């Protein structure tokens, strides 16, 4: 893994923040679409892979199939659709190495703050170098792409577990799993019912004395085959280049159909899901309450279990599922509200991630802080009133990468347009997108409201009057609910709408309108066109 010397360039055309799936993908798009542009990647950690390097708990794997979760420009060719963490980490690293992206990464460089200067038409980034934070330096860039993921790398979601401090055993959050931990013959309680708990449960049960999954609210768990049988058939019949495309298409269309079915016929979907689960459950584990969620399938993320490993584990003697709230934690375990006493040597708090945008970096425009929660996202990518910046947000109900790639493609298209017309900045705005020094004034007392551009008030464009905000990610999971105050929103029309589906978004990224709602500066436009 290479690393470029820290001060090789102080200024870049593009700075990408984060070397996870989205950052590597954005880098590939930038270097392919704009080969003459200089770019670098800042990565606060010391490794490629983001999520897939950080998480090390037993059994860590994807929920998504890798045919769509992998990069479109480097198809996943293994027969296993669902892959373990190590395979995904290696895949991301190999892809980066193959295209020389690894040499563009500056490791242990954390973006702390980024200031857009209107007079310079540049970002100035404050970057903390080294793990102990001894040094800080400045970099300049015309564009920043924030592919920093969606959660806090240093802190898990805070949850109130009553009296947890009293526990004399070990408490572990999956985000910080100690790899050397020996849990053989230990009694383990997993608190939670999300994807992480569902993954941990069968894997811990292999060695532990006992594993209890303690959930407050149940989830839908769907068993899927790891090796897709039709995929193998397609591979036998068609040449490699075609089969990888066909398999990808299958995995693009099928989840979309399942999702659409769940949303259109929630009652039928619920019945089918529960019938499936019932067939795999041991007789002493009833659907109600353990697998009877209060919501319909796909109102929250579905949990996947490969080859039904979760259900197989439930058949074992050393496993148990409890649906109850916690009364209190004791020195040696947990007492539930209904009075059950659960013994434990280890408590695993699989209670979720703390959502975070822009990697915690402080964004300012001419020194004025950007309040992300008051901003809309333009085409789910650019932040309202913030020039030349993209945030990479993927899908929550399809492979994340599909969404990060539409964002990267869209951004490259905007960059190319700007290069062609010699424009220096592009910022989403609710104000008028027509710019000339003469019209950049403000109207006082406009009943339909105003918006601020470069420190000046401007009337909101009539086409956006009465815009309602909606949540960016259409899922009602707990951690999304908790984070609502800290993330940008989507609007109810035009380019401000939240993501719909990949087919619409991919088309929009390549052919959609990239001027509506965007305000450009510099070049031809300033000459008063």
Ligand X SMILES: Cc1cc2nc3c(=O)[nH]c(=O)nc-3n(C[C@H](O)[C@H](O)[C@H](O)COP(=O)(O)OP(=O)(O)OC[C@H]3O[C@@H](n4cnc5c(N)ncnc54)[C@H](O)[C@@H]3O)c2cc1C
Q: Which is nearer to ligand NAG, 336 or 471 (CB)?
A: 471
The footprint of ligand NAG (CB under 6 A) covers 115, 117-119, 124, 255-256, 259, 366-367, 397-398, 422, 424, 471, 474, 476, 500-501, 513, 515-516, 522-523
Q: Which is nearer to ligand NAG, 313 or 398 (CB)?
A: 398
Q: Which two tokens stand for residue 308?
A: 């039904």
Give the CA distances from residue 141 to residues 39, 102, 133, 210, 409, in Å, rounded to whole numbers and listed in that order: 9, 19, 22, 54, 19
Q: How far is the CB of 45 from ligand NAG (least distance, A)?
A: 25
Q: Is 207 exposed, middle or buried (CB count within 10 Å of its CB: 0-12, 13-18, 19+)?
A: middle
SS3 at position 314: helix
Residues 6+ apart with CB under 8 A from 272: none
Cα 381 to its chain centre, rounded Å, is 13
Q: How far is the CB of 93 from ligand X (least distance, A)?
A: 12
Q: Which is nearer to ligand NAG, 212 or 300 (CB)?
A: 300
Q: How far is the CB of 156 from ligand X (least distance, A)?
A: 10
Nearest-angstrom CA–CA distance, 466 and 213? 47
Q: How far is the CB of 408 from ligand X (least distance, A)?
A: 11
Give the CA distances from residue 328 to residues 267, 332, 337, in Å, rounded to whole numbers and listed in that order: 36, 11, 8
Task: Pick what 521 binds: ligand NAG, ligand X, none; C-beta below 5 to 8 Å, kind-dependent.
Answer: none
Q: Which is nearer to ligand X, 18 or 491 (CB)?
A: 18
Q: How far is the CB of 120 from ligand X (least distance, A)?
A: 22
Nearest-angstrom CA–CA distance, 435 and 527? 9
Residues 6+ apart with CB under 8 A from 271: none
Task: Pick what 255 binds: ligand X, ligand NAG, none; C-beta below 5 to 8 Å, kind-dependent.
Answer: ligand NAG
Nearest-angstrom CA–CA distance, 153 and 141? 25
Q: Which is nearer to ligand NAG, 279 or 476 (CB)?
A: 476
CA torsion through residues 382, 383, 386, 391, sign: negative
Task: Pick what 259 binds: ligand X, ligand NAG, none; C-beta below 5 to 8 Å, kind-dependent.
Answer: ligand NAG
CA torsion through residues 456, 460, 464, 466, sign: positive
Task: Pick what 230 binds: ligand NAG, ligand X, none; C-beta below 5 to 8 Å, kind-dependent.
Answer: none
Q: Which is nearer to ligand NAG, 256 or 265 (CB)?
A: 256
SS3 at position 435: coil
Task: Pick what 261 binds: ligand NAG, ligand X, none; C-beta below 5 to 8 Å, kind-dependent.
Answer: none
**Where are the extended beta strands (E) located within 19-134?**
39-42, 105-106, 109-117, 122-129
Q: Which is nearer to ligand NAG, 313 or 427 (CB)?
A: 427
Q: Which is nearer to ligand X, 254 or 287 (CB)?
A: 254
Task: Pick what 147 binds: ligand X, ligand NAG, none; C-beta below 5 to 8 Å, kind-dependent.
Answer: ligand X
* 187 close to 164: Cβ distance less than 8 angstroms: no
Q: How far is the CB of 199 from ligand NAG (least distance, A)?
A: 21
Task: Pick what 18 binds: ligand X, ligand NAG, none; C-beta below 5 to 8 Å, kind-dependent.
Answer: ligand X
Task: Pick what 44 binds: ligand NAG, ligand X, none; C-beta below 5 to 8 Å, kind-dependent.
Answer: ligand X
Nearest-angstrom CA–CA distance, 150 and 277? 31
Q: Which is nearer to ligand X, 40 or 210 (CB)?
A: 40
Q: Inter-axis angle of helices 240-264 and 266-280, to 10 degrees?
A: 110
Nearest-angstrom CA–CA distance, 92 and 480? 27
Nearest-angstrom CA–CA distance, 306 and 308? 5
Task: Pick what 22 binds: ligand X, ligand NAG, none; C-beta below 5 to 8 Å, kind-dependent.
Answer: ligand X
Q: How far is the CB of 290 from ligand NAG (least distance, A)?
A: 24
Nearest-angstrom CA–CA distance, 366 and 362? 12
Q: Which is nearer to ligand X, 302 or 427 (CB)?
A: 302
Nearest-angstrom CA–CA distance, 107 and 5? 10
Q: How far is the CB of 126 from ligand X (least distance, A)?
A: 10
By Cβ distance, which residue is nearest to ligand NAG?
259
The footprint of ligand X (CB under 6 A) covers 17-23, 42-45, 50-51, 55, 62-64, 69, 110-111, 147-149, 153, 196, 359-361, 392, 394, 399-400, 404
Q: How far is the CB of 35 from ligand X (least distance, A)?
A: 23
Task: Pick what 424 binds: ligand X, ligand NAG, none; C-beta below 5 to 8 Å, kind-dependent.
Answer: ligand NAG
Q: How far is the CB of 88 from ligand NAG (least distance, A)?
A: 20
Interior angle at CA 257, CA 255 and CA 243, nearest 5: 60
**Where are the extended beta strands (E) located within 344-463?**
346-349, 353-355, 362-365, 368-369, 377-378, 382-383, 389-391, 425-428, 450-453, 456-459
Task: Pick what 78 binds: ligand NAG, ligand X, none; C-beta below 5 to 8 Å, kind-dependent.
Answer: none
Q: Which is nearer to ligand NAG, 90 or 118 (CB)?
A: 118
Q: How far is the CB of 422 from ligand X (least distance, A)?
A: 31
């Amino acid at each position: 893994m290479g690393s470029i010397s820290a001060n090789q360039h102080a200024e870049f055309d593009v700075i990408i923040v984060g070397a996870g799936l989205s950052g590597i993908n954005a880098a590939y798009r930038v270097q392919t679409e704009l080969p003459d542009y200089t770019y670098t990647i800042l990565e606060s950690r010391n490794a490629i892979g983001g999520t897939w390097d950080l998480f090390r708990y037993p059994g860590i794997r994807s929920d998504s199939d890798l045919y769509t979760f992998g990069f479109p420009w480097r198809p996943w060719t293994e027969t296993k659709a669902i892959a373990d963490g190590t395979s995904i980490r290696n895949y991301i690293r190999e892809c980066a190495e193959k295209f020389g992206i690894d040499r563009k990464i500056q490791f242990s460089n954390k973006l702390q703050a980024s200031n857009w200067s209107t007079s310079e038409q540049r970002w100035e980034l404050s970057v903390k170098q080294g793990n102990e934070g001894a040094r800080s330096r400045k970099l300049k860039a015309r564009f920043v792409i924030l592919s920093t993921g969606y959660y806090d790398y240093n802190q898990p979601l805070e949850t109130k577990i009553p009296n947890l401090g009293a526990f004399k055993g070990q408490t572990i959050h999956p985000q910080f799993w100690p790899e050397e931990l020996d849990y053989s013959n230990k009694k383990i309680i997993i608190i939670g019912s999300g994807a992480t708990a569902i993954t941990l449960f069968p894997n811990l049960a292999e060695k532990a004395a006992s594993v209890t999954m303690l959930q407050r609210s149940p989830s839908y768990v769907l068993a899927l085959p790891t090796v897709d049988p039709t995929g193998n058939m397609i591979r036998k019949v068609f040449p490699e280049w075609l089969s990888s495309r066909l398999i990808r298409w299958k995995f693009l269309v099928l989840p979309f159909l399942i999702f659409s079915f769940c949303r259109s016929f929630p009652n039928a979907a619920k019945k089918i899901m529960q019938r499936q689960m019932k067939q795999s459950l041991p007789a002493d584990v009833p659907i109600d309450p353990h697998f009877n969620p209060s919501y319909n399938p796909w109102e929250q993320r579905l949990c996947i279990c490969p080859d039904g490993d979760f259900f197989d584990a439930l058949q074992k003697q050393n496993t148990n599922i409890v649906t109850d709230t916690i009364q209190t934690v004791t020195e040696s375990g947990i007492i539930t509200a209904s009075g059950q006493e659960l013994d434990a040597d280890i408590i695993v708090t699989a209670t979720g991630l703390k959502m975070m945008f822009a990697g915690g970096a402080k964004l300012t425009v001419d020194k004025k802080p950007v309040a992300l929660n008051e901003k809309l996202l333009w085409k789910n990518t650019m932040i309202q009133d913030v020039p030349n910046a993209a945030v990479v947000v993927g899908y929550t109900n399809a492979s994340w990468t599909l969404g990060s790639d539409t964002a990267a493609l869209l951004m490259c298209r905007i960059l190319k347009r700007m290069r062609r017309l010699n424009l220096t900045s592009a910022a989403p705005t609710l104000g008028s997108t027509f710019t000339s020094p003469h019209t950049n004034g403000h109207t006082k007392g406009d009943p339909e409201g105003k918006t601020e551009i470069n420190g000046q008030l401007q009337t909101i464009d009539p086409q956006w009057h009465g815009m309602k905000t909606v949540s960016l990610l259409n899922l009602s999971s707990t951690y999304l609910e908790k984070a609502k105050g800290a993330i940008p929103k989507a609007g109810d029309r035009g380019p401000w709408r939240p993501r719909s589906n990949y087919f619409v978004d991919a088309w929009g990224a390549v052919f959609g309108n990239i001027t509506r709602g965007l305000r450009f500066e510099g070049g031809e436009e300033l000459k008063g066109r």
